[in-house]
Amino acid sequence: MSLSRAIRLSGAALLALMVVCGGTGIGAAWLQSSSFARQDEAASLLANHELADMMHDAVRSDILAILQAADPQSGLKRKDIQADFDDHVKELRKGIAADAAYRGSADVEAVTSQLAAPMETYANAAARIFTESENDPAAAKRDLPAFFVQFRILETSMGKASDAIIAHAQETSANARKLGTYAMVLLVIVLAVGVAGTFAFVRMATSRVVRPIEILAGTMRELGSGNLDVAVAGADRGDELGDMAKAMLAFRDQLQAAEASKRAQAQLIVESLGTALTALAEGDLTATVDADLQHPFTGLKDNFNSAVGTLRTLIGSVAESAATIRTGSDEIAHASEDLARRTENTAASLEETAAAIAQMDKRLQATASAAARTVDRADGAMTTVASGRAVTDESVQAMLRVSESAKGIDDVIEGLDKIAFQTRVLAMNAAVEAGRAGDAGRGFAVVADLVSALAMRAEEEAGHAREQLTATQAEIGTAVSRVQQVDGALSDISNDVGEVHRLLADIAADNLAQSTSVTEVTTAVNSMDRATQQNAAMVEQASASARNLASEAVGLAQQTAKFTIGRGGHQHARPAAAPAAHAPARPAKLPSPAKAPARAMPAIAVAAGGGDDWTSF
């Protein structure tokens, strides 16, 4: 059976198990819901019957109340009692009708069907007493015993109905609990079956699918790590995993065949290249690889043969160029010595120039420093002038405030003058009234004269104060004008000092720029001096390197003579005598230069008699 068919059948079995579990749960829930509904109906019936029993007692209370309402001292109103009676009888009939309509129990139906007749008799007896209590109270009291007889008859019937309804409610509750227990047991059984079925499915899937896949994955990891002898399990299965195992087995066989072919080819490559490399190590550059190598190793064979051919050509060229290099290096050594002497003279001139420029730089820096100090002093003068202008501004503002205050004092003096005038008028009026009073007003007349005299004196003093205040205001105006003139003079001084400050700043900036330029020139000259001295040292090193190059060229020719390049046997290079060593001219006062980095020297073609060209240089 294939895995897909097995998985479909297992899925169908699990689906059927889920349907059974779900159906069982739904059935159990429906049974519990039905039992709860019946229990609710029984509880509603019991509550309704208890309400009807209460209305039965309420009607009796209404009868007693209506009989007591005949006494005016009772405070009861017939209208209110009548309304309560009608409501109680209505609720009683409604409750009895609901009891009789219940069909959930035969016992309950048997007793509730017997309630309607005594209830109507009881209600009619009560209504008759209500009617008689209004027209014939004595008759109403005579019918009261018969009413109580009907009350007890209905009470007996209501009690039997209550017992039946309570028994029915208890039975309904017991049945509900029993159904709940049955549903719980059934759900537990179904859950156990579902868990067992799921466990069986998982175990089957693990044994038939997951475990074989893990084994195949381990086999693939072994193959990936290079173990081509690993055993492939599951090739005898008839499902998809068996097909995968068969494919993996074929893949392993192909890898084994490829590995065997690779080992054989590698052995052939090692043998052919080993022979050629051995000949190459012995100096035979005519050795090549002639073995028939398979793709992609044919490229290796061609590349090796091409590299050996290139090396053979290169060794030949090196042998031919060694003599030329030896001659050129000797001429370079002679030219370098002459260049060193010329560089020494140039270095001495640059050193003297650098010393003169350094002295010029110091003098310009001193001038720039003095100009900067002069600018600072000008800044201080400007600050002092600004402070003076601020003081004059504050003086002007203070005098203006004094002038405003004087104006206020003038208003006060004018008010005092008016008060003195009115006081004098009042004193005159008082004197007139004292004159009219005769002898009794003489003392008051004397006081009025004194007050009038005092008022006249106050007017005179107010006039003097006004004159003094006017003079003071005039002086204040003059002082303000003078202070403003001083402020204008300070403003002119500030402008002049600012112009001087700008001129000094320009002078300082120009001196600083000149100092900077001279400093840069000094730096450039010093750099040229150091570069010239370093060039002299480098020329000396170049001369020594040229002599070393000539020696190395001789050695290179001797080494190339050891190789066989297929031109009539070995190619021999004639060693030349090393050039005579010339003592290079050493420049004076040369600092120890930094070692110049090695660079590849271009090929120089030097003809015979080239010494004249180097001398002119």
- pLDDT tens for 411-444 read 777 787 788 788 878 878 887 877 787 777 777 7
564 pairs with which residues across the strands? 284, 570
The arithmetic mean of pLDDT across residues 311-321, rounded, is: 74
| pLDDT at position 533 | 78
Q: Which residues of 163-181 are buried (b: 16+ CB within 10 A; e: fewer)?
A: ebbeebbeebeeebeebee
Q: In 551-579, which positions are buried (b, 16+ CB within 10 angstroms) versus exposed (e)? A: eebbebbeebbebbbeeeeebebebeeeb
* 152-206 pLDDT tens trace: 998 898 888 888 888 888 888 888 788 778 778 887 888 888 788 788 777 776 7
Share of the chain above pLDDT 70, in %: 83
- In whole numbers, what is the pLDDT of the chain averaged over residues? 75
DSSP character string of 70-134: TSGGG---HHHHHHHHHHHHHHHHHHHHHHHH--S-HHHHHHHTTSHHHHHHHHHHHHHHHHHHH
The dihedral region occupied by 220, where left means phi > 0, alpha psi between -120 and 50, and beta the remainder, is: alpha
Instruction: Give 521-538 pLDDT, tens digit per residue.
Output: 888 878 887 888 788 788
Handedness of CA 481, 482, 488, 490 (dihedral sign): negative
pLDDT at 121: 92
Which whole number is the average pLDDT over 76-87? 86
Q: What is the pLDDT of residue 326?
A: 67
Q: Mean pLDDT, to the nearest integer, of 247-268? A: 76
User: For 115-124, 542-551, 605-614, which range has the lowest pLDDT when averaged over its residues?
Assistant: 605-614
Hey, where are the domains in the chain?
3-218, 228-281, 299-616
* CA 449, chain centre distance (Å): 97
pLDDT score for 575: 45
Q: How is residue 232 written in tokens?
A: 């492939």
pTM for this prediction: 0.33
Give the pLDDT confidence of 485-503 residue by residue, as tens digits: 777 877 778 777 777 777 7
* Cα separation, 482 vs 527, whole angstroms: 66
Give residue 152's pLDDT. 92
Q: What pLDDT shows up at residue 208? A: 67
Total count of residues recorded for the chain: 617
User: Residue 293: CB partners within 8 Å, gap ≥ 6?
Assistant: 265, 268, 269, 272, 300, 301
Per-residue pLDDT at 578 = 44
Q: How far is Cα of residue 262 from the mean position of the Cα atoms in its chain?
A: 57
Predicted confidence band of residue 149 (pLDDT cuts 50, 70, 90): very high
What does the pLDDT look like over 353-375, one tens digit per residue? 878 877 777 777 777 777 777 77
- Please report where in the chains the tokens 């001398």 appear, as a residue: 615
CATH, range 299-616: 1.10.287.950
CB of 330 within 8 A of CB of 554? no
Q: pLDDT tens-digit profile of 555-598?
A: 777 777 767 766 554 454 444 444 444 444 444 444 444 443 44
Confidence check: pLDDT of 466 > 60: yes
Average pLDDT, stretch 42-71? Answer: 85
Residue 570, φ and ψ in degrees, nearest 5: -80, 145
The mean pLDDT value for 266-292 works out to: 72
Alpha-carbon distance of 33 to 233, in angstroms, equals 58
Cβ atoms of 389 and 491 within 8 Å: the answer is yes
Residue 343 burial (10 A CB sphere; 0-12, 13-18, 19+): buried
Based on C-alpha coordinates, what's the Rg of the chain?
69
Contacts of 285 (CB under 8 A, 6+ apart): 308, 311, 312, 315, 563, 564, 565, 566
State percent of the chain over pLDDT 90.
2
Nearest-angstrom CA–CA distance, 569 and 573: 13
Residue range 197-221: average pLDDT?
76
